[in-house]
Amino acid sequence: MIFSDRRTFGIDSNFISGGHLKKYLILIIIAVIFLYMAHTGHWQKTEMIRIGQVIMTQIPQNINYLINTSKCRIPDADPFSEDIIQYISQEKYEPCTKLGLLTYIDKSNGMVRLRINSSLLSEYSSMEITCCYSNITRINYVKAVDNEIKLTPCTPIQKEVNLTFPFVKVVCSNILKNVYTNVHATTLPTPRKVPDVSSEKKYSILLVGIDSMSKSNLRRTMPKTYQYLNQNYISLKGYNKIGDNTFPNLMALLTGYSVAQLQTFCSTKVKMNHCRFVWDAFRASGYTTAYAEDECAISTFNYDRPGFQDPPTDFYYHPYFLASETLPTKKRYDMTFCSGPETSAERMLNIAKDFVVSFKQVPNFGLFWMNSFSHDNVNLPSAMDEAVLGFLSDGDLVSSLHNTIVLVFSDHGFRFGDIRYTHSGWLEERLPFIYIYIPDDFRKRFPEKYSNFLVNTERLTTPYDVFNTFQDILEIGNSSYVAARSHGCPNCRSLFQELPENRTCHDVSIDQHWCTCNGHHYVNSNGTLVRLIGEFIVDEVNKLKNTFEEKWFCANFAVKKIKSAGMSDSYVNDRNETVRYFLVIVATDPKAIFEATVEVHSRNGVDEFRLLGDISRLDRYAEVTRCIKNGTLRKYCFCDGCIKSAIRYLIG
């Protein structure tokens, strides 16, 4: 439901204060005056009408910045700004079952048991219920190595059974039918680790990820979680993404490499075990490691990638999530909201807590990544606010974090659909949220590192800096460890070292296309130059497409309409060219929406164009690219049928 009357949005959200109303009113009046003047030619110096500039930059007292350094000002977008309010609504938490869970894992006295909650049996059936359990394991096939599981035959269970393996499926039935099916995960078998005799302090790392969550969307959809994080964690206000989607951003953080660099040793042709993940280094330093991700079809290392040959971490929960997704599922916006009687997200939060609590006495490193409630709908996270808050503030979890540095974060903001055609959508997409918890013990032991960290929260930061921070933590815990620096960003540093005040996106390997430091003014999208830039972008898309073997299946795109155009300030370079860049969103025929940043060098009426970074695709293109196998090509493709493809093939 879209709330047209914003007052109905909810009492918690204080976004529409009287001050805001006044502000918007003034803005609208000014915008109307300028529109009028522009229309009558007053401001029409070139073909650019500087309408957008008025709204964005002429009233400086209205602009707050997330960070305001000498080389980088990132606007602090209003999460409820006028341009996106029509796309905002609230989603309810819907439990996956009305009944309590009939089975659960009990860890006590050093034993791990699967138990039936007998007090619930009568709720499930008035007849007698019998249950059985199976061992779930991954199949090490050469081909489908990471995406197949198998079950042992179902063994009857009376009240409880001792477990020796990590993933278990339970089926309970009465004489007529199944009344309950579920899967559980636990931390078995316990890895054998040599006791750590070194005197150095090994800090644990907990990474909890929510895909596609911007700073603003966290504030907007998860106000309770946001408040808790603000009170107990510290935000990196100037954290900017470095690549388009999950893979480049998560890999920057986990390996320190750019996607181009990964090609040589971590291409899609080899299994992902060779990708030099930082968890390998933690494991080599005696840490117990874990990695889990929900929504298996789009998992970072499985979607268009070969997955892992061997489990990459001590605890690898992919088989568990595969098994959970074989249960009856309830989809919300195409994602597995419920698998069996539990939500995917709560499964994740439960195993994250189980892992952290179980290994609180030893160094541990865990990555728990959630897609299921945030990836495909910008509002659905509101359904999970309570659950995430409940996890973060859980007493058992919090009391297990005395030696743990925790990151609660995302990889990028929302990437598709209507919200992306707006100014706020542009900004949000590039600004994932990231909150870090530094335990007291660390603050006391390393006051200087901690004060550097606080300074750095006001600077431009990237996932590469986070990678370097992991290296710092490895070094703190092991004096013979030689810290590696991020290869993708040679100028990046650990967040425990003071970062230069004058950092630019260029300094830290952020392409202009993803950079939020400079802003832009909106200009008339009907201008000749803007039109030419649109043609240039679509040409680039077609050229890129034509480098692929499967190119015949894809239509050639043509410009249909420029949806919006932003322009930077300009400067004159040493060749006396006027240089500026444009951020252009172009709609094409056949139907697709692309966004790119193009640098324009102008001299003597001649304009030269250069692409700055990637081209983004803003429409949802899964449906129209089903004919294509190569995942990289899909972004530049529109499948338009066998006949047209055959003709293209024949005429070359």
Ligand X SMILES: *[C@@H]1O[C@H](CO)[C@@H](O)[C@H](O)[C@H]1NC(C)=O
Provide the 3-class DSSP secondary structure of residue 432.
strand
Residues 490-509: x where in contact with Zn ion by CB under 5 A, - otherwise, as a string: --------------------
Is residue 246 close enough to count as binding Zn ion by CB under 5 A?
A: yes
Distances (CA, A) of 213 to 12, 371, 492, 556, 652: 20, 10, 23, 33, 43
Subset of 541-570 contacting ligand X (CB under 6 A)? 548
CB within 8 Å of 221: residues ≥ 6 apart = 90, 378, 379, 380, 381, 382, 385
Subset of 576-595 contacting ligand X (CB under 6 A)? 576
Residues 31-50: x where in contact with Zn ion by CB under 5 A, - otherwise, as a string: --------------------
For 563, list phi and psi in degrees, rounded to 5. -80, -40
Determine which residue in the list 130, 232, 528, 632 makes contact with ligand X, applying CB under 6 A.
Answer: 632
The entry of ligand X, Zn ion, none that residue 411 binds, CB within 5 to 8 Å by partner kind: Zn ion
Closest to ligand X by CB, 499 or 618: 499
Q: Is the CA virtual torsion 301, 305, 308, 312 positive or negative?
A: negative
Query: What are the strands, taking DSSP E only, across 25-64?
Result: none
CB 138, min distance to Zn ion, A: 24
The entry of ligand X, Zn ion, none that residue 576 binds, CB within 5 to 8 Å by partner kind: ligand X
Residues 185-224: x where in contact with Zn ion by CB under 5 A, - otherwise, as a string: --------------------------x-------------
Is residue 140 close enough to count as binding ligand X by CB under 6 A?
A: no
The answer to whether 325 and 288 have CB atoms below 8 angstroms apart is no
Q: Is 648 left (phi over 0), alpha (psi -120 to 50) or beta?
A: alpha
CB 568, min distance to ligand X, A: 17
CB 466, min distance to Zn ion, A: 16
**How many Å apart are CA 229 and CA 635, to the nearest integer?**
35
Single-letter code of the amino acid located at 397:
L
Q: Is 466 left (phi over 0), alpha (psi -120 to 50) or beta?
A: alpha
Closest to ligand X by CB, 164 or 178: 164
**How many Å apart are CA 508 and CA 558, to the nearest integer?**
35
- Mapped to the 3 state alphabet, what secondary structure does 164-212 carry? CCCEEEEEEECCCCEEEEEEEECCCCCCCCCCCCCCCCCCEEEEEEECC
The answer to whether 268 and 305 have CB atoms below 8 angstroms apart is yes
Distances (CA, A) of 285 to 76, 147, 355, 438, 464: 40, 29, 18, 21, 21
- How many CA atoms lie within 13 Å of 89's alpha carbon, on the beta-carbon side? 10
**How many Å apart are CA 229 and CA 421, to the nearest integer?**
29
**How many Å apart are CA 596 and CA 249, to the nearest integer?**
18
Is residue 65 close enough to count as binding ligand X by CB under 6 A?
A: yes
Number of amino acids touching ligand X (CB under 6 A): 35
The entry of ligand X, Zn ion, none that residue 211 binds, CB within 5 to 8 Å by partner kind: Zn ion
CB 525, min distance to ligand X, A: 6
CB within 8 Å of 192: residues ≥ 6 apart = none
Subset of 103-132 contacting ligand X (CB under 6 A)? 104, 111, 117, 119-120
The entry of Zn ion, ligand X, none that residue 126 binds, CB within 5 to 8 Å by partner kind: none
Subset of 270-309 contacting ligand X (CB under 6 A)? 284-286
Subset of 160-179 contacting ligand X (CB under 6 A)? 160-162, 164-165
Is residue 199 close enough to count as binding ligand X by CB under 6 A?
A: no
Closest to ligand X by CB, 12 or 501: 501
CB 291, min distance to ligand X, A: 19
The entry of ligand X, Zn ion, none that residue 627 binds, CB within 5 to 8 Å by partner kind: none
Q: Which residues bind ligand X (CB under 6 A)?
A: 63, 65, 68, 100, 104, 111, 117, 119-120, 135, 137, 152, 160-162, 164-165, 196, 198, 268, 284-286, 478, 480-481, 500, 502, 504, 524, 526, 548, 576, 630, 632
Q: Which residues bind Zn ion (CB under 5 A)?
A: 211, 246, 411
